[in-house]
Amino acid sequence: MMKFALLILIALFGVSFASNDEGPITAQTVQKVGAKAYVYNPLLLGTNGTQKTDGGSRQQRMVGQWPALAGQGISQTVFTLEPCAMRPAHVHPRATGLLYMISGAKFMVGYVTEDGTPVNNEISTGASALFPIGLVHYQQNLDCFDATYVISYNHEDPGTQMTYASLQQLPAAAVAATLGVNTTGYSNLLSASPKGIFIKSSDPECVARCQLAPAKSGATVSAASVSG
Ligand SMILES: *[C@@H]1O[C@H](CO)[C@@H](O)[C@H](O)[C@H]1NC(C)=O
Ligand SMILES: *[C@@H]1O[C@H](CO)[C@@H](O)[C@H](O)[C@H]1NC(C)=O
């Protein structure tokens, strides 16, 4: 039990890794932090290990959650997306992502190249998909069953900038002009703007086909579509 508590402490605070950020893992390192520091099981952390929200859940395995990744240039997140839910448009400023589809069908992945070309694909179980560093991208489950996938990143702390939420931090007049709407139009968009890490019922055709309860506000769905 003591050992378990110690492991949790190391996992949460990672004090022992501070002096080892850049260096190789050596016999001394392993002796200092213990072999168990090199595995990470979010299930042992109970609800702390999984972010469950409307539309899906996420288990991040980044340096913040798993200090052993410090200096290793790699990290991972495991996702479950509910039927018709999506992971809205976002950017990782420090990493390229490589998705592996554990289980799913009718699963949309896409990004936009730096010169504006859309790269959209439908994938299913066993496929991989690339999301290049710094480019706006999304995932959307258009199947009537949960989709499960893992994304690995070539940075221990990839960072995530949500595209639509970020845009909203600019002056309203600047955003309204960017979107080509007047201030009334922009405040309507803002009031319908989705807030979470996932968007539930993101596609009306999917919701009808899968016979799900429609989203509470139709406006939420169209605002989400505007973001990308
Ligand atoms: C979850 O996090 C809280 C707050 O940091 C902590 O008190 C609790 O012990 C954690 N639970 C587990 C199972 O690690
Ligand atoms: C804002 O734009 C909408 C839609 O184009 C239009 O119906 C409305 O009259 C405009 N409002 C103002 C104050 O210009």
Tens digit of each residue's pLDDT (9 = 90 or more) over 17-55: 544 455 788 999 999 999 999 999 999 999 999 999 999
Over residues 181-187, the mean pLDDT reads 94
The whole-angstrom separation of Cα 72 and Cα 126 is: 26
Closest residue by Cα to residue 195 from 53, 25, 67, 79: 53
Binding site residue list for oxalate: 92
| Residue 211 CB partners (closer than 8 Å, separation 6+) | none
Give the pLDDT band of residue 113 (cuts 50, 70, 90).
Answer: very high
Question: Tell me, what DSSP letter sits at residue 125?
Answer: T
Per-domain residue ranges of the chain: 1-39, 40-227
pLDDT of residue 216: 60
pTM of the model: 0.83
The whole-angstrom separation of Cα 182 and Cα 65 is: 43
* The CATH classification of domain 40-227, taken from the options 2.60.120.10, 3.30.230.10, 1.10.3720.10, 3.40.50.10490: 2.60.120.10
The whole-angstrom separation of Cα 65 and Cα 59 is: 9
Per-residue tokens: 71: 């200096």
How far, in Å, is the centroid of ligand 1 from the Cα of 192?
34
How far, in Å, is the centroid of ligand 2 from the Cα of 172?
16
